[in-house]
Amino acid sequence: MNRQELQALAGKAKGKHEQFKHKICVCCGASCISSGSEEVLKKLQEEIKTRGLENEVEVIPSGCMGPCNQGPLMKYLPEQTIYQKVDCNNITAIVQSQLIEKKPIEELLLFADSREKPFVNSNEDPFFKRQMKIALKDCGDINPENIEDYLAAGGYRALEKAFFLLSPEEVIAEVKQSRMRGRGGAGYPTGLKWETVYKYVSDQKYVICNGDEGDPGAFMDRSVLEGNPHRVLEGMVIAGYAVGSSKGYAYIRGEYPLAIKRFELAIKQATKLGLLGKNILGSNFSFDIEVRIGAGAFVCGEETALIASIEGKRGTPRPRPPFPAEAGLWGKPTLINNVETFAGIAPIITNGGEWYSETGTPKSAGTKVFALAGKIKYSGLIEVPMGTTLREIVFDIGGGVQNGGDFKAAQTGGPSGGCIPAEHLDVKMDYESLISLGSIMGSGGLIIMDKSSDMVDVARYFMEFCMDESCGKCVPCRVGTKMMHDLLQKICDNKGTQIDLDRLEELAVYVKETSLCGLGASAPNPLLSTLRHFRKEYENRIMNHQ
């Protein structure tokens, strides 16, 4: 396919959608599927058929819409009306009321059981109103298993623009200007990384998409891969063009079978249309992507370990430098970015780097996807501008703590991060502010805790995680995490002493400073941050054994 044919196909796909007066999306993300959305979808399709409305109403199995614990979710467009906890037995009534009589059934609307008055237009609901969707745009509105849906929504236009209107240098310049930072955790400037890889001369370079998402309690990458796989794929191809690579790998967690299936399907569809493979769209550029399935090791999210794993070996990290940008997969220059990072590329190319940089804070541009979970009223997937406060996320979007409880702490950054206490609820969620509180942004997992959480046990929990997941290559991490875990266990068992606590703090510094990779270097973070903000709880355990 060439450029004109692509445009024609996109136009046709768009026309096809516009024929329909109504669209109904049924969320078929993994969470809603487990709540029974596939049966809802089937029942709805039957209902539409029985009523002879097939030419008026389009039924779309879509990706994640956000409020995952209210699933199965069903959304009516253009009204943006969302129904929650949809039961197969209600479908006839909903279709009759919503479509035919144009009267939404209020008691079945999203958040009807918890808001005084639910919103007919979900965009006006505080859960959505405060959000800004860039990486998640289209996720929840299109069928992720149909490339034409993506094309109709403007998909692959960024790729076309990059190939035909921009040089690789200009693509990199746009990404630099966007000031986007990597969403995998460390927040390294994406444009700078691309430029570094671009500058190395080599017969072969690689692009890797990090979809290992090992942080327990995080599901952003999963939702993006399941809800809009073509967006990630498009970002990878653009990256390949920019840095001069013809081969990409997507490393996806084995625990995410649906994400793997949908991404593989996306590759197949894109290849068939000539958006992957040789001479893409008639340009001189060729690019292929292969999927690699993770086998369950947290450390494989670390870039050098991930590369070892793609090479078929034990996923153990190696010292850097050399960084993957210089010597990565099979010793060749390798660009490695997170799923969400790639998902942000197409909008940057389409709208320009400057447009992206206008959102967020001076040092953290753009938006961030968070997976909101734990003791929160409305858990789910959200995307907000960088710099949104924790309070806005927890109380305005998330509806506050579950069952009207008191907020105690928010955990960010998973086993590498820390806990933010109530007195810092007004912290801006950006890279620097979180670090100043002893936590990190991490990949976007945000777990809310109420007073039922014992912070010493939280520290022990994460230390146990790091101890189990330590690859064992270097002593500070292998032995240090075990020693710290045992001390924490002792304190949890009310057998700890002040000496144990001093010892813990001392060990934390050693492990932090001398571990080979980020796993060990950040393993003490949950301990240090709970000590910083909740020291009283440790002392209570030691002095008063409670």
Q: 359 is written with which tokens?
A: 């959102």
Left (φ > 0), alpha (ψ -120 to 50) or beta: where does 444 sit? left
| 78 preceded by a cis bond (ω within 30 of 0) | yes
Question: DSSP 3-state assignment of 153?
Answer: coil
Among ligand SF4, another protein, ligand FMN, none, what binds residue 516 when CB lies within 5 to 8 Å by partner kind?
A: ligand SF4
Rounded to a whole number of angstroms, the minimum distance from the CB of residue 324 to ligand SF4 is 15
The single residue among 519, 527, 528, 531 that binds ligand SF4, judged by CB under 6 A, is 519
Residue 41 and residue 26 in contact, taking contact as beta carbons nearer than 8 Å: yes
Rounded to a whole number of angstroms, the minimum distance from the CB of residue 188 to ligand SF4 is 18
- Specify the DSSP class assigned to residue 323: P
Q: 286 is written with which tokens?
A: 């060729």
Our measurement of the distance from residue 76's CA atom to the centroid of its chain's CA atoms, rounded to an integer in Å, reads 25
Q: Per rule CB under 6 A, is residue 217 in the interface with ligand FES?
A: yes
The single residue among 58, 213, 383, 500 that binds ligand FMN, judged by CB under 6 A, is 213
Strand segments, DSSP code E, in 339-444 are 367-374, 380-385, 407-412, 418-421
The single residue among 185, 360, 374, 496 that binds ligand FMN, judged by CB under 6 A, is 185
Among ligand SF4, another protein, ligand FES, none, what binds residue 517 when CB lies within 5 to 8 Å by partner kind?
A: ligand SF4
Rounded to a whole number of angstroms, the minimum distance from the CB of residue 269 to another protein is 21
Q: Per rule CB under 6 A, is residue 23 in the interface with ligand SF4?
A: no
Q: Per rule CB under 6 A, is residue 214 in the interface with ligand FMN?
A: yes
| Residue among 323 and 461 whose Cβ is closer to ligand FES | 461
Q: Per rule CB under 8 A, is residue 375 in the interface with another protein?
A: yes
Looking at 57-65, 355-363, 380-388, 511-519, which segment touches ligand SF4 (CB under 6 A)?
Answer: 511-519
Residue 307 and residue 334 in contact, taking contact as beta carbons nearer than 8 Å: yes
Residue closest to ligand FES when measured from CB atoms: 217
Q: Per rule CB under 6 A, is residue 518 in the interface with ligand FMN?
A: yes
Rounded to a whole number of angstroms, the minimum distance from the CB of residue 474 to ligand SF4 is 3
**Mask 299-338, x = binds ligand FMN (CB under 6 A)?**
x-xxx--------------------------------xxx
| Strand pairing class (206-211; 407-412) | unpaired
Query: For the chain, what is the total number of helices (H) and then of strands (E)?
Result: 23, 13
Left (φ > 0), alpha (ψ -120 to 50) or beta: where does 401 sit? beta
Rounded to a whole number of angstroms, the minimum distance from the CB of residue 387 to another protein is 24
Among ligand SF4, ligand FES, ligand FMN, none, what binds residue 537 when CB lies within 5 to 8 Å by partner kind?
A: none
Site for another protein in 480-539 (CB under 8 A): none
Looking at 44-52, 277-285, 295-303, 510-518, which segment touches another protein (CB under 8 A)?
Answer: 295-303
| Residue among 31 and 338 whose Cβ is closer to ligand FMN | 338
| 317 preceded by a cis bond (ω within 30 of 0) | no
29-359-188 Cα angle (round to 5): 75
- Total chain residues near ligand SF4 (CB under 6 A): 14
Rounded to a whole number of angstroms, the minimum distance from the CB of residue 300 to ligand SF4 is 10
Q: 529 is written with which tokens?
A: 């941050």
Rounded to a whole number of angstroms, the minimum distance from the CB of residue 392 to another protein is 19
Q: Per rule CB under 6 A, is residue 299 in the interface with ligand SF4?
A: yes
Count of C-beta atoms within a 10 Å radius of residue 112? 17
**Mask 315-334, x = binds another protein (CB under 8 A)?**
xx------------------
Among ligand FMN, another protein, ligand SF4, none, what binds residue 222 when CB lies within 5 to 8 Å by partner kind?
A: another protein
Q: Per rule CB under 6 A, is residue 517 in the interface with ligand SF4?
A: yes
Looking at 101-109, 452-460, 471-479, 493-501, which segment touches ligand SF4 (CB under 6 A)?
Answer: 471-479
Among another protein, ligand SF4, ligand FMN, none, what binds residue 347 when CB lies within 5 to 8 Å by partner kind?
A: none
Strand segments, DSSP code E, in 162-202 are none
- Total chain residues near another protein (CB under 8 A): 53
Question: Angle at which helices 257-272 and 220-227 pack, to 10 degrees?
Answer: 40
The single residue among 62, 131, 223, 443 that binds ligand FMN, judged by CB under 6 A, is 443
Q: Per rule CB under 6 A, is residue 519 in the interface with ligand FMN?
A: yes
**Three-state helix/strand/coil letters over 448-477:** EEECCCCHHHHHHHHHHHHHHHCCCCCHHH
- Taking every pair of Cα atoms in the chain, the longest distance, rounded to a whole number of angstroms, is 76
Distance between CA atoms of residues 297 and 305, nearest Å: 10
Q: Per rule CB under 6 A, is residue 472 in the interface with ligand FES?
A: no
Distance between CA atoms of residues 204 and 421, nearest Å: 48
| Residue among 344 and 414 whose Cβ is closer to another protein | 414
Distance between CA atoms of residues 399 and 405, nearest Å: 11
Distance between CA atoms of residues 450 and 443, nearest Å: 22
Bridge partner list, 336: 208
The kind and range of the H/E element at 305 are: helix 303-310
Residue 245: name the closest of 190, 203, 193 by CA: 203
Rounded to a whole number of angstroms, the minimum distance from the CB of residue 259 to ligand FMN is 13
Residue 485: name the closest of 510, 504, 470 by CA: 504
Rounded to a whole number of angstroms, the minimum distance from the CB of residue 521 to ligand FMN is 8
Residue 185: name the closest of 475, 536, 521, 488 by CA: 521
DSSP string covering 98-130: IIIS----GGGBTTTTTSSS--SSGGGSHHHHT
Q: Rule CB under 6 A: which residues touch ligand SF4?
A: 299, 317, 470-474, 477-478, 515-517, 519-520
Q: Rule CB under 6 A: which residues touch ligand FES?
A: 216-217
Q: Rule CB under 8 A: which residues touch another protein?
A: 30-31, 33-35, 68-69, 71, 213-219, 222, 253-256, 292-298, 309-316, 371-375, 379-381, 411, 414, 445, 447-449, 453, 461, 465, 471
Q: Rule CB under 6 A: which residues touch ligand FMN?
A: 182-186, 188, 210, 212-214, 299, 301-303, 336-338, 341, 443, 517-519
